[in-house]
Amino acid sequence: MFYRRKYYLVKSGFTEILNEHFRETNPPNQLKHGSRLAGRWKKENKDNTTEIFAIWEYDSYDEYLRIKTAIRADMEHVKRVQAWYDKYGGKDYVLGNYILEVRHEMLQSTLD
């Protein structure tokens, strides 16, 4: 198995907007192409930011790469994401003002 963590650091006032976007956009598209969502969590910080992260599961790293390529080639999905960014001022504006950090991290089991 291969696991990936998608991490966001978000201004707290933008948390629900991002969560709604996630629910409506990411799982349907990820699941359609074969990803499995292990879960998604948040942690509110005292500095008016919120950490949000999801753990995704794949059969292998190669399967993850195949799925990632399929998702990026899914023009319907790309258009939905672009429209969402545009609604909030454009991708650069959102990433500069609401979403302060984004990370994609490979996770390694300590039990293998």
**Chain centroid, CA 60 distance in Å:** 19
pLDDT beyond 70 at 108: yes
Looking at the domain assignment, is residue 112 inside a domain?
no
Structure tokens belonging to residue 6: 């998608």
d(CA 72, CA 65): 11
Cβ count near 94 (within 10 Å): 19
Looking at the domain assignment, is residue 52 inside a domain?
yes
∠ CA 106-35-13, nearest 5°, is 75
Confidence (pLDDT) at 93: 98
Looking at the domain assignment, is residue 74 inside a domain?
yes
Domain that holds residue 60: 2-107
Residue 6: CATH number of its domain: 3.30.70.100
Length of the chain, in residues: 112
Q: pLDDT for 5-63, tens place per residue?
A: 999 999 999 999 999 999 998 888 888 899 999 999 999 999 999 999 999 999 999 99
Looking at the domain assignment, is residue 44 inside a domain?
yes
Confidence (pLDDT) at 112: 66
51-66 exposure pattern, b = at least 16 Cβ within 10 A, e = fewer: ebbbbbbbeeeeebee
User: How many domains is the chain partitioned into structurally?
Assistant: 1
Confidence (pLDDT) at 29: 86
Q: pLDDT for 58-100, tens place per residue?
A: 999 999 999 999 999 999 999 999 999 999 999 999 999 999 9
pTM of the model: 0.86
Confidence (pLDDT) at 85: 97
